[in-house]
Amino acid sequence: MKHFIKYPAMLLMLLAPLFPVYVFQQVYAKNFQDYEIKRAELEKETARGNKYHHNLKNKLMENGHYVGLYNSRKELRESWNKRSTIDFEAKDKKGQPLYATLIRYMTAKGLKKDAEGMEALTAQDILNVEKGHTNPIYASPRNFYYNRIYTVAQSFDIYLKTGKPFDSVTKRAEAYQAMISIFKDHPIVGVGNGDIKKAYDEYFSEKYENADKMNLVGGHNQYLKILATFGLLGFAWFLFAFFGSWIVQKGHRYFMTRMVFFILLLAMISEVPLDQQRPAILFSIFLSLFLFSFKPADEGRKKGGCNTSEID
C-alpha cells in the first residue's frame, strides 16, 4: 500500500512541471498562429464609405486576429467620443494611449475597428477600455491563471516576431540565448567566473545598439550559467560535487533529501539560487541536516537491535 501511494505521487511531482508547458502550447497555438493575408481580398471601405487602413506589417495579435487590419480611426474617434467622457486622443486609466487600447480590445472581440464595431461594444466594454484592458479576458478576475499564460504567450509571440525583448519573460529568453552563445564559444573551460559579466555585456552590445538601456542581464538558469562560466569540465565537476554526497549517503532513501533536491533542481531552471546568499545557505543547512543527521528506519532498527524477526 505504501508503494502504491508513493510511486504515483513521485510520478505526479515529476510530471507536474510539464502541465504548464502543455497549457502554454495550447494557448499559443490557439491565439498566435500566423496566417496568410492577401491585401486584394481585404475590404477597402467601411459600411459608411470611409477607407480602412490595413497595416500588414503589424503582426500583433489578439485572440487570433491581427490588430493592424480594418482600422478606421475617423469613425472610431467620432463614435468613441459619443460614448465616453475620456477623449479618444487621451490616455486610459493605466496611462496607455486609449486608441491603442481600444483597437486591441475590439480586435480581441473579433470586431472591425469602425462605427459598426463600436456599436457592438456594450457599456461594460467601454468601461473596460477606459480602465486600460486590452482584451476582455483581463476584465474578469476568474481568468487570472489563463490571463497570465496568455500574457506570457503574447510576449513570446511579439519577441519572436520583432526579435527584441521587452519584459521579464522575454529578457529571460534573451539571457538563455546569451549563455548558450557564450558556452558555444568556450565549450571546454568556459569564460571563467571573473569574466562572465563582461561576456554578457559584449554579447548584448553586439546584438543591440542600445543594449545599455534595455536592462538586459545574464543568469536566470543555473545550469546554463555554469556551462557558460566553467564549460563542460566545470559542469562535470559541479555534477560530481553536487550529487556526490547524496549518492554516497544514499540520499534517495530519505524523503526530506529527495524533496530538498527536487525543489532546488526546479529552482535552478529559472533562477541561479547557488549564486545568491540566502538560498545557497538554506539549501546547505537543510541538505546537511537531512542527509547526515537522519537514518533510514530499517538501518536504525538494525543498529538498535530491535529487529522484530529476532524476538521470537
pLDDT in tens, 251-294: 767 777 777 788 888 889 888 988 888 888 888 888 777 777 75
> What was the pLDDT predicted at 210?
85
Interior/surface letters 46-62, b for 16+ CB within 10 angstroms, e for the rest: beeeeebebeeeebbbb
Flag the least confident range among 76-90, 208-222, 229-243, 248-262: 248-262
User: Which residue bears the cell 502541465?
Assistant: 19
Q: How far apart are the first and last CA of the chain?
A: 26
Which band of pLDDT confidence, cut at 50, 70 and 90, is reported for residue 296? low
> What was the pLDDT predicted at 120?
97
> What was the pLDDT predicted at 6?
64
**Residue 112: is it exposed, middle or buried by C-beta count within 10 angstroms (0-12/13-18/19+)?**
buried
**Angle at alpha carbon of residue 140, lines to 135 and 145, rounded to 5°:** 90
Q: CB-based contacts of 183: which residues, under 8 Å, 6+ apart?
A: 190, 224, 227, 228, 231
pLDDT in tens, 127-154: 999 999 999 999 887 778 888 899 999 9
> What was the pLDDT predicted at 247?
80
> What was the pLDDT predicted at 150?
93
- Provide, for the chain, the percentages of residues in helix, strand and coil under a 3-state DSSP scheme, each rounded to the nearest 5: 65, 5, 30
> What was the pLDDT predicted at 9?
67
pLDDT (average), residues 176-187: 94
**230 pLDDT above the threshold of 80:** yes
**306 pLDDT above the threshold of 50:** no
Output the pTM of the full model.
Answer: 0.76
- What are the backbone dihedrals phi and psi of residue 131, each rounded to the nearest 5 degrees, phi first? -75, -10
Flag the least confident range among 92-96, 155-159, 291-295: 291-295
> What was the pLDDT predicted at 8?
74
Q: Give dist(CA 98, CA 75) in Å, integer.
A: 15
Q: Are 76 and 51 in contact (CB under 8 A)?
A: no
Q: Give dist(CA 260, CA 246) in Å, integer.
A: 11
**11 pLDDT above the threshold of 90:** no
Q: CB-based contacts of 224: which residues, under 8 Å, 6+ apart?
A: 176, 179, 180, 183
**189 pLDDT above the threshold of 70:** yes
**Angle at alpha carbon of residue 301, lines to 299 and 307, rounded to 5°:** 125
Stretch (H or E) spanning 101 = helix 98-108
Q: Give dist(CA 300, CA 156) in Å, integer.
A: 53
> What was the pLDDT predicted at 308?
38
Which band of pLDDT confidence, cut at 50, 70 and 90, is reported for residue 18? confident
Give me the chain's average pLDDT, please: 86
Q: Are 72 and 51 in contact (CB under 8 A)?
A: yes
Q: Which of 69, 138, 154 is nearest to 105 (CA)?
A: 138
Which band of pLDDT confidence, cut at 50, 70 and 90, is reported for residue 309? very low
Q: Domain segments of the chain: what residues? A: 39-141, 249-298
Q: How much of the chain exceeds pLDDT 90, in percent?
A: 56
> What was the pLDDT predicted at 175?
92
User: Which residue bears the cell 560535487?
Assistant: 241
> What was the pLDDT predicted at 312?
38
Helix ranges restricted to H, the chain: 2-15, 18-31, 73-83, 98-108, 115-119, 123-131, 144-162, 168-185, 196-207, 222-248, 255-270, 277-293, 297-304
> What was the pLDDT predicted at 297?
52
Highest mean pLDDT pick, 9-18, 34-43, 252-261 = 34-43
